[in-house]
Structure 1
């Protein structure tokens, strides 16, 4: 399906992969990348400068003769993932930042290698995946921490840090709420170009008898799109329609159509109803919901039943030396809400 939910799925998945790869690089879990050691000029104020390199893949210090000469003291610790170089009367530090640049390149290469199609569905998926990557990159902030006596900033530590993933998810959810429907026109090279669709305007014309009729602008249908048998990242496996989706575009609006912005999620077709059981959804009948507010939405206005259930769980756990954990079993009454 090329609906809003599929658009959100592609976007949040590419964002999650980018976030995970960037964090893994900084933590030294990948061999092909390490920290983000690139210079960021807007962070410094003239008395600080970024310098040096820390290889977080092994938490090791890159030997520099001048550095050892300047820091020939006992308190130098190469395992701190940071080191300092004297400049005038200041100290500067470089910590291990999240390598978002490498992660973004890696994810884009990965997605590109899994899809060679040039149809409208491929362009929609690419657009939504790129949005997820851009959200992660645009929410990287430089975090600095001062060290010194009595609150002075004798030593300054700076590193790049990604926003928590729940913040990334919120931004993509807002894009989902404002997603736009698109069609396509073919470029000279045969590649589909996405165009925002607008509702067709109805024209009124008078008849000789004084009555009026309403005629809609003529529509034409684009060629069918053949979905690939497997989706990129296997995110929406077994969710394609057996019939090929089509996108309709008004010929007069084709010239007025706008290219969707990079910060907009795009989709091809209207979402099916998830309230009733169908080939796309199991429906929400019998589904457990959290509280009254969520139940009103999840249950699609049909109402819900509430019953009390006795739940058993482990509690009062203690670690016994050596190597054993002993827990008691506690019982509690819990309200369970179920959709009608």
Structure 2
């Protein structure tokens, strides 16, 4: 996936996507990087599960990949702004910030802080993610799949938006930190991925109304509260992903490496779906004995490691 291949298909893209390709191709490059970041993070978070984010499954994977891709685009575009890689944006404007305020809470040192520095312009990243990720919704289209995609897109963006961190630098005589200059930075994307994985586990099952309005209603018991904007939702239950089923985009778990002593999801009994496992010897290569040479490069050897692994039948 690269920006050129996306933009060559401009005629097939929704209006907002085509507009970005024509007027802001450098932002499309960041969109692509963000989408790749989201997929890599999804694969990391689900590396020990039966479905490990290696395919865009229409059931299980659609919910998480939609949210984490939207979050990845928000995160990447925002950071590109702060790094000065985009002409359309830069550091977050500080003139709208509050005046210097005292730090609050028990145990503070009485120092004061004020907004300054180069804050991450997450609002710009949010808007560009929304412009590209939500563009597939055609005017008047309100089917349940589209509405769920839009909801999960927003949930992914909000994880980045709602978890911005304050970073500060001290000023004062002899490092006394009498005054701090602070700015907002995006959260580490690993933390974003972990939050979305947790929200996936408590995702809300919904169903469409019989009325052709595109509205959705919950099928959980009445005592459960309605899903809010930052929760994930779905409307089709997933297969178990144990066997290869091309029609449901399931690759199965045959041949996957498992851990026979782990109590977690990568346990051979769970990952292999009760089929059992074989113990095989495998050899892999990895970099080793790395040395830093002045100046400035690192030279590593390549070591071959032979080990025994458990592989699902």
Question: Normalising TM by the smaller chain, what interval?
Answer: 0.5 to 0.7
Q: Could you list the runs of 5+ residues in structure 1 that have no partner in the other structure?
A: 47-89, 200-252
Matched, 1:309 2:278: no
Q: Structure 1 residues 321, 260: CA separation in 2 closer, same or farther (over 3 Å shift)?
A: closer
Residue pair 1:194, 1:259 contacting (<8 A) in 2 also: no
Residue 337 of structure 1 is aligned with which of 306, 310, 313? 310
Residue pair 1:98, 1:161 contacting (<8 A) in 2 also: yes
Corresponding position of 2:159: 135
Matched, 1:195 2:217: yes
TM-score with structure 1 length normalisation?
0.61
TM-score with structure 2 length normalisation?
0.66
- Tell me the distance in 2 between the aligned counterparts of 1:126 and 1:160: 27
Q: Could you list the runs of 5+ residues in structure 2 that have no partner in the other structure?
A: 1-56, 104-111
Aligned-CA RMSD value: 3.2
Q: Structure 1 residues 314, 97: CA separation in 2 closer, same or farther (over 3 Å shift)?
A: same
SS at match of 1:20: helix
Corresponding position of 2:134: 112
- Tell me the distance in 2 between the aligned counterparts of 1:185 and 1:172: 27
Q: Structure 1 residues 115, 315: CA separation in 2 closer, same or farther (over 3 Å shift)?
A: same
- Tell me the distance in 2 between the aligned counterparts of 1:195 and 1:321: 64
Q: Which structure is higher in helix share? A: 2
Residue 64 of structure 2 is aligned with which of 4, 8, 17? 8
- Tell me the distance in 1 between the aligned counterparts of 2:147 and 2:192: 23
Deviation at 1:98, TM superposition (A): 1.2
Corresponding position of 1:273: 240
Matched, 1:26 2:82: yes
Deviation at 1:94, TM superposition (A): 1.8
Deviation at 1:261, TM superposition (A): 1.8
Deviation at 1:277, TM superposition (A): 1.3
Residue 118 of structure 2 is aligned with which of 92, 96, 99? 96
Residue 121 of structure 1 is aligned with which of 131, 145, 152? 145
Matched, 1:289 2:258: yes
- Tell me the distance in 2 between the aligned counterparts of 1:334 and 1:122: 47
Deviation at 1:320, TM superposition (A): 7.2
> Larger radius of gyration, structure 1 or 2?
1
Q: Structure 1 residues 302, 130: CA separation in 2 closer, same or farther (over 3 Å shift)?
A: same
Deviation at 1:184, TM superposition (A): 2.3
1:122-201 paired onto structure 2 within 5 Å: 122-185=146-209, 191-198=213-220
1:29-108 paired onto structure 2 within 5 Å: 29-38=85-94, 39-41=96-98, 44-45=101-102, 94-108=116-130
- Tell me the distance in 2 between the aligned counterparts of 1:163 and 1:291: 35
Residue 261 of structure 1 is aligned with which of 210, 213, 228? 228
Deviation at 1:30, TM superposition (A): 1.1
